[in-house]
Structure 1
Amino acid sequence: MVGRIVIEDVRPSVGAAEHPAKAVVGEPVRVSATVWAEDTDAVGAAVELRWPDGSTRCTRLLPVDGDTFAATVVPDEPGVWTFRIDAWRDPWTAWERAVRAKATAGALEPANDFETGARLLEQVAYRPERLAERDSLLTAANVLRDANLLVPERLSAALTDCVRAVMREHPVCENRTRGRAQQVRVDRVRALDGAWYEFFPRSTGGTDAGGNPVHGTFATAAAELDRIASMGFDVVYLPPVHPIGTVHRKGRNNSVVSAEGDVGSPWAIGSAEGGHDAIDPRLGTLDDFDAFVARAAELGLEVALDLALQCAPDHPWVRAHPQWFSTLPDGTIACAENPPKRYEDVYPLNFDQDPEGLYAEVRRIVELWVRHGVRIFRVDNPHTKPPAFWHRLIRDVQEAHPDVLFLAEAFTRPARLYGLARLGFSQSYTYFTWRTTKTELTGFGRELVEHADEARPNMFVTTPDILPAELQSGNPAAFAARAALAATLSPTWGVYSGFELYEHEALGAQEYRDSEKYELRPRDYATALAAGRSLQPWLARLNEIRRAHPALRQLRTLRFHDVDNDALLAYSKTDPAGGDTVLCVVTLDHQHTQEGTVHWDFRALGLAPEHRYTVHDEVSGELFEWGEHAYVKLDPHRSVAHIGSVARAGR
């Protein structure tokens, strides 16, 4: 803002500051701005932070680099916070600089210089709220005016630590300029930090005596929750649990024609048994769903539910609200397409023909599931719906329920991905599954930090739709390394069930063969674990390490460090609040031993460059003595990563 004082480059800021920046409760937020005035005038600045309830608090910004002023604030409750940066000419600081320079050069003019300082001291002393410091300030003013004293004695009285502290904390403000109010959307901690586990309740029914899969229910799904909780996950994410359409139902491996007994895709929502507000009868009832949510809560787990705004041809909306769909010239309703692919079992919604009616119905559905204990929605393909729709829906829902979060499943171009985040989505899927080389991962991580004010990443190692080429060999080290990267690069990461069993058979470029999207996939986790063919212990250890180290649950402090081997990736994270520091080295070669020297930027981490530090490897239990240049060696058949916590006392 340009006023008597210039205030610009205000952070945190999203775009042109028209959308709120993002933070979570308890997260240190750095507020900064460039502040300047004409000539050599000293300036000061402060941030006024307004709570959602309207109460305010001011915090002085301190100069950190040239004309940049900054301070850290910590929001302590969810909601929309407002902050405004004000700036002013600071005549006391200007006076102090001037008299120090003149004293050094022997150019002081006591009659004018000391009288100016005395008047500034009196301005602060006679403020009603400064009664406690009045005597000390007035004494300093009187000493400045006392011509019977030596000049150094007169000057030193005004520059005591006590006087300077009062004048700095309660400045004389001239030409005060008010900045523009900006917002920060503060969410609960789960918006930034969490470990997700995705599974299909219908695949939890086991097999019958003949070895045939049995359709699971919420009761059999609830039995899986203990295992998931034991691995340290925070969120269980369920694909759609609604009735599945029968018209044009897809068969196994996405075949156009289904066979008898095929269960169809959960994303083909709706049948004669109900739509988005109903439960698939084969899973149970709403009461069974409530029992599932309650059991999850007992184990410290939240339930995230898929919000997929699309319909099967036999969804009740198709008959009751035909205006919510697009009609082709031949009079039929258009199915979903991503040429050359066609999804005959899904009708996309048309948001233009009855926007208010459709909005009201979606809002009703979200509110229904909120009443049934769902506080997190994973939104399917949000980039195929109008941006204004999401902006309105998320705003309205969060005004009524500040703890509700929305995850955008938007594997799309960056403008759309970050645009949706700016419009209100709490988290976003990322390009992590396609970033595999050192250069790709480093650039990707830096991009995430750059966009931290507007978007929070959720790094799933795989999804029902994505089996990365890197995992299709079935190499356990590849699975372990990808999990290590996701769990330590991002404060939120996710696992799709079957990952711990190294499921890797592909159909096409990145689709699973015998995909669970179209058939039941019962899994015997216990037998695999007992036989040592399970990644479950590693997933549990990663989540245990994350819980022990708040640094790993941060995003803004991610920093990459140079290592002289392109098969090794080195990075660090710190916790601004508690000083926790974690150093990570992950191998990108899942076949061969790799070694190299990591050049840690200790100064950037607040560590003394000349010291060596004891680093506890949370993976192996070993202790290393690392300086700025540390030798590392990783054999992927033994360990794919060093995750080292730093003892702060160096030597």
Structure 2
Amino acid sequence: MTTPGWIAHAIWWQVYPLGFVGAFPTDPAPTPEEHRLRRVTEWFDHAVALGASGVALGPVFASRTHGYDTTDHYRVDPRLGDDDDFDELIAAAHDRGLRVLLDGVFNHVGVDFARHRAALDGDPAALNWFRRAPRDPGGFATFEGHGDLIALDHDNAEVIDYVADVLAHWLGRGADGWRLDAAYAVPPRFWARVLPRVRAEHPDAWFVAEVIHGDYPGMVGDAGFDSVTQYELWKAIWSALNDGNFHELDWALQRHNEFLDTFAPLTFIGNHDVTRIATQLADPRHVAHALVVLMTTGGVPSIYAGDEFAFRGLKEERFGGDDAIRPEFGSPPLPVDDAGAEMFALHQFLIGLRRRNPWLHTARTSALRLDNRSYLYQSSAAGATGETLLVALNLTEEPMPIRLPELGFDRAELIAGTGAPPRASTTDATVPAHAWLILQPH
């Protein structure tokens, strides 16, 4: 396995297409003639202006409802459009230098998946495509108890062939990689048989697995993924900020350092499955802190569409509970208030900082000062190249002084932060209450 070199510079802008273009939930459903997928394409200039290098799409394949109940992996969802719309999207992205990541569900399928319908009709070959329910030998296993999501049998050679062919098919159509949904529910041996076959044909493709918790490096090694979703760090960021417990964040970053010895995780503070960070955080002043951590630590960052405008949205465990975090977008540009414009500018600045310091892709962090509500960490390039940033986060009501000589640095350039003068060189700095600073030693 060789991770493609382009991922070292990747910053994703993530879109959930069915919600983004108002195709789900809606009644009546849009028709292919509406070509709604092209609404996503209209936003590519925005992604470029943001500083992203790629667009990570949610499901675009035929399904009945939310996209994760696939009925045909070879067909664009008719609510989004058709093959021509997909081809236009790929061309428009690549013309702007944007990569495209697709989202594939291969743990389970929807009830209208052709082989599932055949299995219900008694086709013996189709029956072998699906796992049996442990307590119901005559029924099929489902994904986490969802009766509309039918679990595939990942030991079936035909299923292995099918998934490998689907992955290769869309890479051949111009996609640059895949997010593998619910990969944690699939035996690693399945991916270890599928992915090498696809890589043999598409060696420049990148594969990131959705994994919530567990042995991340072990899963990467056993399955052959390039990366996994870094939910541990996501949780530690917002939880530490809400609880005033930077020890939790520091512990997660120590774990993160270990992961970086093996692979570069997909990092995020928001996605289509979680409460918006601006809603998740109890104090709106700390949204910037979360973004600073994301952009100054190792990994492959992803920005969920709308977070760059400080969108709010609560995920709820009920029918329709994802709707608030998957809203429809109109045509660009969106009208935003001063707070939204300020958040967008902060995203642009921090993404630009990361682009100017590409070593951050594999940067390791270490604490220079740590207590419950104030945290100063050093983010440094792997190896002995000398690149370093100092990141100070303050959640207290009091200013947080920084004396650089006491930390082993003669001087540093004050790059950014709350109330920071532009590009000032200093031996001392002060982080205001509920604020942050980034310094670059020299």
Q: Give CA-to-partner distance per residue, 1:6-63, whole Å, 9 cap, x none.
A: xxxxxxxxxxxxxxxxxxxxxxxxxxxxxxxxxxxxxxxxxxxxxxxxxxxxxxxxxx
**Gaps (5+ residues) in structure 2?**
119-125
Equivalent in the alignment of 1:197: 13
Equivalent in the alignment of 1:450: 258
Are the structure 2 counterparts of residues 565 and 326 from structure 1 closer, same or farther at C-alpha, using a change threshold of 3 Å?
closer
Is the partner of 2:60 in helix, strand or coil? coil
RMSD of aligned C-alpha atoms? 3.1
Equivalent in the alignment of 2:229: 429
Structure 1 Cα separation of the partners of residues 16 and 146 of structure 2: 21
Are the structure 2 counterparts of residues 585 and 523 from structure 1 closer, same or farther at C-alpha, using a change threshold of 3 Å?
farther
Equivalent in the alignment of 1:580: 387
Equivalent in the alignment of 2:131: 326
- For residue 400 of structure 2, the aligned residue among 595, 605, 614 is 595
Is the partner of 1:187 in helix, strand or coil? coil
Shift of 1:222: 0.3
Whichever of the two has the greater Rg, that structure is 1
Which AA in structure 2 matches 1:291?
E
Is the partner of 1:283 in helix, strand or coil? coil
- Tell whether the 8 Å contact from 2:412 to 2:439 is kept in structure 1 after alignment: no
- Tell whether the 8 Å contact from 2:8 to 2:358 is kept in structure 1 after alignment: no
Q: Give CA-to-partner distance per residue, 1:256-286, whole Å, 9 cap, x none.
A: xxxxxxxx2111111xxxx111101121212
Question: Equivalences for 1:302-313 in 2 at 5 Å?
Answer: 302-309=99-106, 310-313=108-111
Equivalent in the alignment of 2:49: 230
Are the structure 2 counterparts of residues 227 and 593 from structure 1 closer, same or farther at C-alpha, using a change threshold of 3 Å?
farther
Shift of 1:312: 0.7
Shift of 1:594: 4.2
Are the structure 2 counterparts of residues 518 and 441 from structure 1 closer, same or farther at C-alpha, using a change threshold of 3 Å?
closer
Question: Equivalences for 1:622-637 in 2 at 5 Å?
Answer: 622-626=423-427, 630-636=428-434
Question: Equivalences for 1:217-256 in 2 at 5 Å?
Answer: 217-245=36-64
Structure 1 Cα separation of the partners of residues 52 and 306 of structure 2: 15
Shift of 1:593: 5.1
Which AA in structure 2 matches 1:645?
Q
Are the structure 2 counterparts of residues 578 and 525 from structure 1 closer, same or farther at C-alpha, using a change threshold of 3 Å?
farther
Equivalent in the alignment of 2:121: none
Q: Give CA-to-partner distance per residue, 1:62-107, whole Å, 9 cap, x none.
A: xxxxxxxxxxxxxxxxxxxxxxxxxxxxxxxxxxxxxxxxxxxxxx
Q: Give CA-to-partner distance per residue, 1:147-170, whole Å, 9 cap, x none.
A: xxxxxxxxxxxxxxxxxxxxxxxx
Are the structure 2 counterparts of residues 464 and 512 from structure 1 closer, same or farther at C-alpha, using a change threshold of 3 Å?
farther
Are the structure 2 counterparts of residues 507 and 385 from structure 1 closer, same or farther at C-alpha, using a change threshold of 3 Å?
closer
- Tell whether the 8 Å contact from 2:316 to 2:322 is kept in structure 1 after alignment: no
- Tell whether the 8 Å contact from 1:202 to 1:520 is kept in structure 2 after alignment: no
- Tell whether the 8 Å contact from 1:476 to 1:502 is kept in structure 2 after alignment: no
Which AA in structure 2 matches 1:242?
F
- Judge which range, 302-311 or 435-444, deviates more: 435-444
Equivalent in the alignment of 2:217: 418
Shift of 1:471: 3.7
Shift of 1:642: 1.6
Equivalent in the alignment of 1:347: 150
Equivalent in the alignment of 2:115: 317
Equivalent in the alignment of 1:63: none
Q: Give CA-to-partner distance per residue, 1:292-330, whole Å, 9 cap, x none.
A: 011111112110001211211011121342321134437
Are the structure 2 counterparts of residues 600 and 187 from structure 1 closer, same or farther at C-alpha, using a change threshold of 3 Å?
farther
Structure 2 Cα separation of the partners of residues 575 and 522 of structure 1: 40
- For residue 550 of structure 1, the aligned residue among 352, 358, 361 is 358
- 1:276 aligned onto 2:73: yes
Structure 2 Cα separation of the partners of residues 186 and 507 of structure 1: 36
Q: Give CA-to-partner distance per residue, 1:166-214, whole Å, 9 cap, x none.
A: xxxxxxxxxxxxxxxxxxx54223334421111122344479xxxx997
Which AA in structure 1 matches 2:400?
E
Are the structure 2 counterparts of residues 516 and 193 from structure 1 closer, same or farther at C-alpha, using a change threshold of 3 Å?
farther
Shift of 1:512: 11
Structure 2 Cα separation of the partners of residues 601 and 401 of structure 1: 51
- For residue 367 of structure 1, the aligned residue among 168, 173, 180 is 168
Structure 2 Cα separation of the partners of residues 286 and 385 of structure 1: 29
Is the partner of 1:325 in helix, strand or coil? coil
Is the partner of 2:102 in helix, strand or coil? strand
Structure 1 Cα separation of the partners of residues 139 and 225 of structure 2: 34
- Tell whether the 8 Å contact from 1:457 to 1:492 is kept in structure 2 after alignment: yes
- For residue 642 of structure 1, the aligned residue among 433, 437, 441 is 437
The structure where helix makes up a greater share of residues is 2
Query: Identical aligned pairs, as a percentage?
Result: 21
- 1:376 aligned onto 2:174: no
Shift of 1:459: 1.1
Which AA in structure 1 matches 2:59?
P
Shift of 1:631: 4.4
Q: Give CA-to-partner distance per residue, 1:460-513, whole Å, 9 cap, x none.
A: 11122222788435744232221111111123111212223433342547x997
- For residue 89 of structure 2, the aligned residue among 286, 289, 292 is 292
- Tell whether the 8 Å contact from 1:238 to 1:306 is kept in structure 2 after alignment: yes
Shift of 1:533: 2.6
Structure 2 Cα separation of the partners of residues 244 and 513 of structure 1: 17
Is the partner of 2:378 in helix, strand or coil? strand
Equivalent in the alignment of 1:566: 373
Are the structure 2 counterparts of residues 566 and 406 from structure 1 closer, same or farther at C-alpha, using a change threshold of 3 Å?
same
- Tell whether the 8 Å contact from 2:296 to 2:379 is kept in structure 1 after alignment: no
- Tell whether the 8 Å contact from 2:59 to 2:68 is kept in structure 1 after alignment: yes
Structure 1 Cα separation of the partners of residues 403 and 275 of structure 2: 31
- Tell whether the 8 Å contact from 2:42 to 2:332 is kept in structure 1 after alignment: no
**Gaps (5+ residues) in structure 1?**
1-184, 246-263, 603-608
Structure 1 Cα separation of the partners of residues 415 and 282 of structure 2: 27
Is the partner of 1:305 in helix, strand or coil? strand
Structure 2 Cα separation of the partners of residues 444 and 392 of structure 1: 32
Shift of 1:343: 1.7
Is the partner of 1:346 in helix, strand or coil? strand
TM-score, normalised via structure 2 length: 0.83
Equivalent in the alignment of 1:397: 198
TM-score, normalised via structure 1 length: 0.58
Are the structure 2 counterparts of residues 348 and 407 from structure 1 closer, same or farther at C-alpha, using a change threshold of 3 Å?
same
- Tell whether the 8 Å contact from 1:616 to 1:645 is kept in structure 2 after alignment: yes
- For residue 409 of structure 1, the aligned residue among 202, 210, 224 is 210
Are the structure 2 counterparts of residues 598 and 196 from structure 1 closer, same or farther at C-alpha, using a change threshold of 3 Å?
farther
Equivalent in the alignment of 1:357: 158
Is the partner of 1:529 in helix, strand or coil? coil
Are the structure 2 counterparts of residues 409 and 330 from structure 1 closer, same or farther at C-alpha, using a change threshold of 3 Å?
closer
Shift of 1:600: 7.5
- 1:438 aligned onto 2:235: no
- Tell whether the 8 Å contact from 1:563 to 1:599 is kept in structure 2 after alignment: no
